[in-house]
Amino acid sequence: MVIKSLKLIDFRNYENIDFTFNPGINFIYGKNGQGKTNLIESLYLTTHLKSFRTSKISDLCAFSKKISTVQTSLLKQNVHHDVRITLHENLKRVLHNQKSVNYTSEYIKNFLSLLFSPDQLVAFKEFPLERRNFIDRILFRVDEKYFQRIKEFNRIRKQKNVLLRNRNKKEISVWNQLIAFVIPEIVNSREWIVKKINGVLAEIFCALTGRNISLEFYYGSDLKGKTDNSPESILRYLAEKLDQEIGNGYCLFGPHKDNFWMTLDGKKDRQTFSQGEYRVAYLSLQLAMNQIISSELGFKPILLLDDIFSELDDIICEKTVSYIIQSDNQVFITSTTIPERFKEIENTICIHAGKLSTV
């Protein structure tokens, strides 16, 4: 898929821009504080209907303005889409091909962008919740039923938490039966995607770094080693742990406690990866997702790569650019580094004080 053009009015530090992008690489160059991340944020908003930096819509409006507009023209599998997002105080109104969008979950099935941003990298490194969200965002797209299962799991867990706090043992057993049927399906989907990721991850990491060491992605299911993945065993396990859960007043076991991590030649990420290694491993993971989406859904997501080059050595930067160019996605790369460094890059956009120009 391709974002053909973008209009921004009073969005962050953009007063009024109307810009046409290249369907391949868009290398966006600018000094600190000029609007590179703001631009990436507006493109992410178009595909995910939320920001990756704030949950407050009003933060997106230019200072001292009340209304902001993000308007895009997109092309996906030869079909044109017009999207207009109006942000007004804390309300967001979305028009997709002139029709009002009422359900975000319906809208986001249409489009997908994969984001690399320094802030998301930190969150991914620090919080298991962020790693689960990362996996879930992709599974929602490639496995139709997965979204329903997670919704169901969260609904049951919420109800069970209330009952645990009220120490209502009899009713909890009923909800345990329901949850024991949903859990195996969530675990199976997560195992499936991790297997898919590992089918391509090591090769991508080698291509980006030139290093012949193996990068692997691991899934640590919370229930692994405690019970097998059948509803009967899970139910038995939860019954055994009932008093412990009542003591704590909330659900202690299940996919909401799952974790994911990476290893390089068998060594675990947080304990051993250098800053640059973590960065390029995370980028490899995003590019693995890109391949999975392309083969499962038949279209190429947009790659939003904000500030990828800092902390990476020259060899990795050059190999990354070569890899991205041959990936055939529409890509937005932002950098404070001068584009002349990368001979393969042809389309350069310069950002200065919220204004874009082609170089």
Ligand X SMILES: Nc1ncnc2c1ncn2[C@@H]1O[C@H](COP(=O)(O)OP(=O)(O)OP(=O)(O)O)[C@@H](O)[C@H]1O
CA dist 152 and 286 (Å) reads: 27
Binding residues among 317-336 for ligand X as defined by CB under 6 A: 336
Residue 59 or 318: the one with the smaller Cβ distance to ligand X is 59
Q: What track of x and - describes contact with Mg ion for positions 139 through 178 (by CB under 5 A)?
A: ----------------------------------------
DSSP H or E run through 99 = strand 99-100
The secondary structure element, H or E, covering residue 25 is strand 25-29
Does 72 engage in binding with Mg ion (CB under 5 A)? no
Supply the minimum distance, in Å, between the C-beta of residue 217 and ligand X. 28
* 220 and 258 Cβ atoms separated by less than 8 Å: yes
Q: Which is nearer to ligand X, 136 or 306 (CB)?
A: 306
For residues 54 and 85, give the distance between their C-alpha atoms in angstroms, rounded to a whole number. 16
Tell me if 35 contacts ligand X by CB under 6 A.
yes
In the complex, the smallest distance separating the C-beta of residue 333 from ligand X, rounded to whole angstroms, is 12
CA distances to 27, 75, 282 from 16, in Å: 21, 23, 34
Cβ proximity to Mg ion, 36 vs 160, nearer residue: 36
Partner whose binding site includes residue 34, from ligand X, Mg ion, none (CB under 5 to 8 Å by kind): ligand X
Task: Using the minimum distance from each CB to ligand X, give the nearer residue, 12 or 131.
Answer: 12
Please choose, out of 54-62, 157-165, 201-209, 280-288, the segment that lies near ligand X by the rule CB under 6 A. 54-62
Assess 32 for contact with ligand X (CB under 6 A): yes
Q: 24-37 burial, b for 16+ CB within 10 Å, e for fewer?
A: bbbbbbbeeebbbb
Pick one of 20, 33, 122, 165: the residue that binds ligand X (CB under 6 A). Answer: 33
Provide the strand spans (E) within 180-329: 215-220, 259-264, 267-268, 302-305
117 binds Mg ion (CB under 5 A): no
Q: What are phi and psi of 143, to 5 degrees?
A: -130, 100
For binding to Mg ion (CB under 5 A), which residues are involved?
36-37
For binding to ligand X (CB under 6 A), which residues are involved?
12-13, 30, 32-38, 59, 61-63, 307, 336
